[in-house]
Amino acid sequence: MITVQPSKTIDARGMACPGPLMALIGAIRQGQVGDVIEVWSSDQGSKTDIRAWVTKAKHELVSVTDETGYTRFTVRKAR
Partner 1 sequence: MPSQVIVLGGGVGGTIAANLVSKELGPEAKVTLIDPVGMHLYQPGFLYVALGQANGRWLAQDERRLLRDEVDLMIDRAVRIDPENRSIALARGGTIGYDYLVLATGARLAREEIPGLVEGAHDFYSLEGAIRLREVLRTFPGGKIVMGVAGIPYKCPPAPVEFVFMLEEFLRKRGIREKSAITLASPLNRAFTIEATSKLVQPILEARGIELGTFFNVEAVMPDKKVVTSIEGEELPYDLLVLVPPHRGAQVIEDSGLGDERGWVPVSRATLQHEKFNTIFAIGDATNLPISKSGSTAHFEAPVVASQIAARIRGTTAKENYGGRVMCFLETGHHQATTIRFDYQHPPVSPQPSLQWHVAKWAFNRLYWQTVPQGRVA
Which residues are known catalytic residues?
17
Q: Residues 7, 35, 36, 53: which binds partner 1 (CB under 8 A)?
A: 53
Q: Does 16 bind partner 1 (CB under 8 A)?
A: yes
For the chain, give me the number of helices (H) and strands (E)?
2, 4
Q: Does 9 bind partner 1 (CB under 8 A)?
A: no
Is residue 6 reached through a cis peptide bond, with omega within 30 degrees of 0 on the bond before it?
Answer: no
* Distance of closest approach, residue 3 Cβ to partner 1, in angstroms: 24
For residue 10, which of 34, 60, 53, 21 has the smallest C-alpha distance? 21
Q: Is 42 exposed, middle or buried (0-12, 13-18, 19+ CB in 10 A)?
A: middle
Of 23-42, binders to partner 1 (CB under 8 A) are 23, 25-26, 28-30
Given the rule CB under 8 A, which residues bind partner 1? Answer: 10, 12, 14-23, 25-26, 28-30, 45, 49, 52-53, 56-58
